[in-house]
A and B are shown apart, each in its own frame.
Chain A
């Protein structure tokens, strides 16, 4: 009896403690996100009351900017950090719920086109980034991590590849820092270029989903443009995320052969382990919505839940971006990443223009 208590109690205590540790940070995400929503509403109301035409700046931008200001001025006390790190969790829950806004036919059509573009984008990005890394004299594993990060899905891909190719922690943090700082820059530049080029919602959404590496930033950049562009950006980015297992498996096999280390045993199990499960959740909800299981009001509620989840994500994007820390990272990986991002952005824009003709 005594021994069973001794075994079970620490587990439940640690679970409870981990849960309690998350609360301050999650509350901060809610506060920052909701502040963004209040600012958007207040500006709109002020404009209407005073008959002024003010630019409609979405809550997305306010939430990110407030988060950035807090993180880079007063800083984030340790008590909030665990909860802020949950922003990825809310992002994935939000994407699954967003599946309710897509009919399976749309997913198949747009997702199919996205998948074709994703395959082209990944192949070209991997080749270009590998060449660029070599040209700048980066270590082969850092080059691999940067190539995987910029061709597929940012931080998640780098973490997955790091374990698979047994890369150093230092290389992984260089690659993550480069991808995050470039993601933060893309977040603001993509909408500006999109408006400048007068891109339609669908084209812009595809471009943001294909060109921006980290899922949170791609989602935010899409939502900053318009609601419809945000939906397409998430779908394109989800198609890109679905490829993570295949690319990481390829690199794992390559490095195992090169270094003579242990080969990947069960490839199907490896693929399943690396496959982002939220892609399946997204497809499942989309299938349920297509089968008209939900009423119109219920679909509105699901869409709103997805928005709330994204609200927390956008607050987290700002709060976890520490500009000083990013600046301290290596100069060369950043340059390689930046050059790569610009080239990939142009490349994906070309692909989108090509796809636009097919979609019309």
Chain B
């Protein structure tokens, strides 16, 4: 039973870290840009 469960668990764990840190940073930046362009985020103060 344990043997049946372990391999997919490893697979799932690998899928969690499928993208590199760089790629996640690009996704975040593009996502935020999209929200600004769509008007969801109206103004970011500094």
Contacts and interface: CB of A to CB of B under 8 A. Distances in A.
A96 B30 contact: yes
Contacts of A10: 9
A301 B35 CA distance: 11
B9 A305 contact: no
A171 interface: no
B24 A308 contact: no
Interface string A239-283: 000000000000000000000000000000000000011101100
Q: Is the interface of B mostly helix, strand, loop or mixed?
A: helix
Nearest to B6: A7
> Chain B interface: which size bin?
20 to 34
Given A8-B12, A11-B12, A294-B36, A89 B24 contact: yes
Interface in A266-316: 276-278, 280-281, 284-285, 288, 293-294, 297-298, 300-302, 304-305, 307-308
B36 A298 contact: yes
A73 interface: no
A8 to B, nearest CB: 7
B16 A277 contact: no
A100 interface: yes
A223 B28 CA distance: 23
Contacts of B25: 89-93, 96, 278, 281
Given A92-B21, A304-B45, A97 B29 contact: yes
- Size band of the interface chain A makes with B: 35 or more
A3 B46 contact: no
Interface string A1-27: 001001110110011000000000000
B30 A285 contact: yes
A91 B16 CA distance: 22
B16 A92 contact: no
Nearest to B25: A92
A304 B36 CA distance: 12
A164 to B, nearest CB: 15
A298 B26 contact: no
A277 B30 contact: no
Contacts of B46: 304, 307-308
Given A92-B22, A92-B26, A277-B22, A297 B33 contact: no
25 contacts: A6-B5, A7-B9, A10-B9, A11-B9, A14-B13, A89-B28, A92-B21, A92-B22, A93-B28, A93-B29, A96-B25, A277-B26, A278-B25, A280-B26, A281-B25, A281-B26, A281-B29, A288-B33, A298-B36, A300-B44, A301-B43, A302-B44, A304-B45, A305-B44, A308-B46
Given A11-B9, A276-B22, 5 more contacts: A11-B13, A92-B26, A93-B25, A281-B30, A301-B44
Interface of B: 1, 4-5, 8-9, 12-13, 16, 20-26, 28-30, 32-33, 36-37, 41-46
- Going nearest first, the 7 A-B pairs with the smallest beta carbon separation are A281-B26, A92-B25, A96-B29, A277-B22, A301-B44, A304-B46, A93-B25
